[in-house]
A and B are shown apart, each in its own frame.
Chain A
Amino acid sequence: MKKTLVFVMTMLVLTGIILTAMPALASDVSVGLELDRDETTTADQVKMVISVSGVRSMDRHPLISGLDSFDIASSGTSSRIEIINRKKTVSLDYTYYIRPQKTGTFHVGPAEIEVDGRTYKSGTQTLVVRKVSAASGPNRQGPFLRAELSSKKVYEEEPLIYTLKLFYTDRVSDLSLNPPDVDGLTFKQASKASQYTGVYNGRSYHVIEVRYSVVPEKPGLYGVGASRMDLVSYDSENRRSTNGFFANDPFFSRSNGRRIQIKSDSIDLEVSPLPLKGRPDGFSGLVGRFRIVSKLDPARIKAGDSASLIVTISGRGNVKRIPDIKGPGFTHIKVYADQPDLKVQRGPQGPEGTKTMKWAMVPEKPGKYRIPPYSLTFFDTKKGAYREIKTRPLELDVRESASGQPPLVSSGHTQSKGPGGKNKRQVKEIGHDILPVHTALSKGAHIPGPVLLWLLLLGPVAVYLIVVSIVRARKKTMENISGQRAKKALKRLVQRSKDPGIGAGDLMDIVRGYFNDRFDMSLGTLTPGQAGAILRSRGVDNALIDSLEGELNALFDRVYTGRGDAPCDKNKDIAGLFREIERGLG
């Protein structure tokens, strides 16, 4: 029993483990490559993380291309298990620090891994490596803050990057950063703070870098004021003065750290107005670098079916100014516009965005419909001029519908393909109102009045109790009748057997009469064996039965040897024996 229980428990635990591991085994494998910056100097280290999801462990490190001009050092591997909405994800992160050997623009990646004979590749990331700036200023002691602008001369509304770097050698904590507050310039954090080791003035520092995206709202000359950072600095001199073993541990150091405030330098920024020359009429104010593409899906349909025209504008700059494109207009095509969808994200070089505009087109007649090119005008900050870009012209090829009948085009909104490839149209709500009154009273369930309610609830209980009581009472009555009959039978036997001159034949009749009365029988004759069997079936002790059988056999002998009428001295023994039997039956 115990062994079975242990076996069942083990099987349950194993099943649990297997079921837990299943999602990890079943999940998709993917590889990602991420650099903590996209711009660095030859003196700085860049953190690179290769994330492999869908595997628990790997025998080999990933193969990473594009690192010929870099020194590379592994910083270890970490595994991660995430359970989000009951979905389990296992991933493995390989962390490296890479230091460029020369300046230039490099494409790092892809990282390549092999799992179960299949090769998985990551994307690539571009890293711009610049020369280390010449030493400017004296060597500094303690932490210091440096600010940089990605460009010191920009056009109005042209986003630029403001980078703040905290250089420190000893431990710092409780950092609190306040970017400058300048009228006409909007600061927004562009990326998470990154941490790496860098060189400044030939000295190695720990660096914490924070990037802000800055948008100048108006032209003019701006002084980007100092950024301030509050922090607690732990002075190495103080720590060295403490006793050797715990010297580097701030916990045992006598110095508790100093709360200090450090400032960056101010930087000048020149914001030029957008030139009037060449400015197109109705210019949206879009500044940056953008591209526009259009697509027809599908380009060949039957009359009455629908095709989607998708125009996408994407790029970097003041993306919120991307204008809405006017949809196409045709005589024989019904056009239903979707709500334009703008997605903005923070990029390392400033805000990036994509605006997608969609139209569902349902042609009524077959033919070839030319969709003209769509254009976008913006101010190209690299070229310093207005640019107009266009999509390619498209052609929608519409064939005769299968029925040959002109299709019914009703008002609708967006179309999608339903089962069987048939175009289904989403139902558009045209009006709103309540539904009408009900014209019949319900014939459904109602709670009855209290009397009927309690009757219904307690009725079955009552019926059950009554029936059970009756059954019990009857059983008791039967038991009483049986008891009384037993008493009477014994009494009669004792009384009749009292006569000292009673013969064996009469005694046999008295015993038979007892059995008939006691067990409600109608035996004509009774043998000792029958008597024994009757008593045995009622649970009487075997010793008593044997004694009774012995006495009855003796009586039988007397009867069948012709001494049945002669007085017999067995009457007292028989009466005593039946008293004991009755006690046994009781």
Chain B
Amino acid sequence: MNRSTVNRSIVNRSMMNRLKTVACALVMLVICPVVIHAAVESVQDRFFRANLAFDQGCFADASEIYQWLIKDGQADGNIYYNLGNAFFRMDQMGMAILNYERALRLMPRDPDLEFNLQYARDKSVDEVKVSSGFIGSAFFWIRAFSLAEIFWVFVLLNAVFFFVLLLRVFFKREWTWYLLLISLCLWSVSGVSFGAKWYDTVFDDRAVVVDKEADVLAGPAKGDTLLFRLHAGTIVHEERQEHGWWLIHLSDDKRGWISGDMVKEIREVYD
């Protein structure tokens, strides 16, 4: 094999390698969207299948699929809403209210959800006054929006504010000054609202009684004095947890200990 043949062979091999790389890249470019699309389809399919099960009266099956979707990270208000409906149909009023409340955090202005939640609340046994708390009262408007909505508004106004600030670097005119003042006001309001909503969401201490009847005791042990009895769907406020028992209080300042498996937090916690 002379020198020129060797050189040609090296060139050919290198060309082949390059072609292979380009082909792989092309295949990946074609496959990737298909794979991603297939995954999206899968969530939609499961949601559709759960709805089908619901329509056929298989509420337990439907609730299982909805819960699977939620555990899979699909925190969608519609899934919580449908899950609430499934529990409602299974006469598990506590779980129904719990999931309606969770859905309400994600889609606070949904009229179907408001109707069903109100109806479920009407069906619950205990009459407990719901207090909106300091944050809810001081920033009353944030209840009408989800955290994501307020976040995106803040992102937009944040961008506008810094854009105007930047504009001032180059154009120190009167109109840019007024524009800066307006954008500063909007930026502050949206920023404070976002902060308040975030706090309200992350530190939400509300929990729902999910058992048909739940005894609230004077201490975190089964033998302690029975203080009062709550029923499914009642919203309580969690103070702290000790060995599977929760210290809770109602809005009207009734306090006591309740077994942790009888209540569930509205603020969902994933391990």
Contacts and interface: CB of A to CB of B under 8 A. Distances in A.
Asked if A pairs with B, the answer is yes
Interface stretch (B72-80, B213-221, B248-256, B262-270): B72-80
Interface stretch (A213-221, A333-341, A402-410, A435-443): A435-443
A441 B41 CA distance: 12
Interface residues of B, number: 41
B21 interface: no
A451 to B, nearest CB: 14
A437 B151 contact: no
Interface in A404-461: 432-442, 444-447, 453, 456-457, 459-461
Contact of B162 (A434, A440, A442, A460): A460
Contacts of A459: 159
A441 B78 contact: yes
B88 interface: yes
A267 interface: no
B246 interface: no
Nearest to B151: A447
B84 to A, nearest CB: 8
A1 interface: no
Contacts, number: 77
B85 A442 contact: no
Interface stretch (B31-39, B112-120, B228-236): B112-120
B139 interface: no
Given A435-B115, A456-B155, A460-B161, A442 B77 contact: yes
Contacts of B82: 437-438
A467 B51 contact: no
Nearest to A456: B155
Nearest to B155: A456
Contact of A435 (B43, B47, B116, B151): B116
Q: Is the interface of A mostly helix, strand, loop or mixed?
A: loop
Contacts of B116: 434-435
Given A445-B146, A447-B148, A457-B155, A434 B119 contact: yes
B186 interface: no
A435 B88 CA distance: 11
A432 B119 contact: yes
Size category of the A interface is: 20 to 34
Given A435-B115, A441-B79, A460 B151 contact: no
B166 A464 contact: yes
A68 to B, nearest CB: 59
B148 A467 contact: no
Contacts of A438: 78, 81-82, 112
Interface in A17-36: none
Contacts of A445: 146, 148-149, 151-152
17 contacts: A434-B120, A435-B112, A437-B55, A437-B81, A439-B48, A442-B76, A442-B78, A442-B107, A445-B146, A445-B149, A446-B148, A447-B148, A447-B151, A453-B151, A457-B154, A463-B166, A467-B166
Interface of A: 432-442, 444-447, 453, 456-457, 459-461, 463-464, 467-468, 471
Interface of B: 43-44, 47-48, 51, 54-55, 74-79, 81-82, 85-86, 88, 106-107, 112, 115-116, 119-120, 146-149, 151-152, 154-155, 158-159, 161-163, 165-166, 169
Instruction: Please provide the 8 A-B residue pairs with the shortest distance between their CB atoms, ordered closest to farther.
Output: A460-B162, A445-B148, A438-B78, A437-B82, A435-B112, A434-B116, A464-B162, A460-B159
